[in-house]
Amino acid sequence: MQGEQSSRTVQSVQTTIDIVEHLREVGEAGVTDLAAALDHSKGTIHSHLATLLENEYVVRNGDRYGLSLKFLDFGEYVKSQLEIYDVVVEELDDLAAETGEVAQFATEEHGRAVYLYKAHGNQAVNTASSVSKREYIHCISLGKAMLAQFPEERVDEIVDRHGLPAKTSNTITERDELAAELQEIRERGYAVDDEEMIEGIRCVAAPITNDGVVGAISISGPSSRMAGERFEETLPSKLLRSANVIEINAKFS
């Protein structure tokens, strides 16, 4: 299937996508830099940039180009199509304030977890996540909470496509181990990230369902605070309560 999709790609469109994604990575770049990075002629890059500039998808600063705020329109539009988003925001703001930690919401797309909202409590520490960032789904509690709700065939598809790369020494990297973990999550009702993505950070997450898996919410914090009864009982209880509130409100919104 992947081969079929690759054979049908349009090269000029792919070049435009490569330019956009490279600019997202580096911030700004000139024609020469882009040509070298993407292995295209400067003429090809210039033509694509001229089209993007004419349609206001990039801005020009001297001889360098960057993405325009027009992309923000698309992001906000896609987010607005998620019916529960406003309900999630209100509940996560309350959850972050109550726990003092980071509360987050993510959904799954193309086998990756995509962060859509992040709220900070008064003791919150910085984490590597940010809104719109895509992450491997097997090494974060948000991702595992969603995986546990998927049919086995879908889990296999995701693992076949993305693998199980290690982020820390605690990351699950074997299929059998992941399957056992997902079964535990189903029985327990929530997922745990025990420093599997970032050393020193622990998380708990619960799925959000509404005629299928909509996403998941989580609480994250330093391992020194995410320990003992607080990590094993108090925070999961608050998290599951919030997930329940979101699901109920979503049904009647």
> Angle formed by the axes of helices 85-99 and 235-252, to 10°?
160
Q: What is the pLDDT of residue 252?
A: 78
CATH code that applies to domain 2-68? 1.10.10.10
CATH superfamily entry for domain 79-252: GAF domain (3.30.450.40)
* Sequence-distant contacts of 209-214: CB under 8 A, at least 24 apart: 209/149, 209/247, 210/83, 210/84, 210/247, 210/250, 210/251, 213/108, 213/146, 213/149, 213/150, 214/82, 214/84, 214/107, 214/250
pLDDT in tens, the chain (253 residues): 334 445 577 899 999 999 999 999 999 999 999 999 999 999 999 999 999 999 999 999 999 999 999 998 998 888 888 888 989 999 999 999 999 999 999 999 999 999 999 999 999 887 777 888 899 999 999 999 999 999 999 999 999 999 999 999 999 999 999 999 999 999 999 999 999 999 999 999 999 998 889 999 999 999 999 999 999 999 999 999 999 999 998 887 6
List the chain domain ranges. 2-68, 79-252
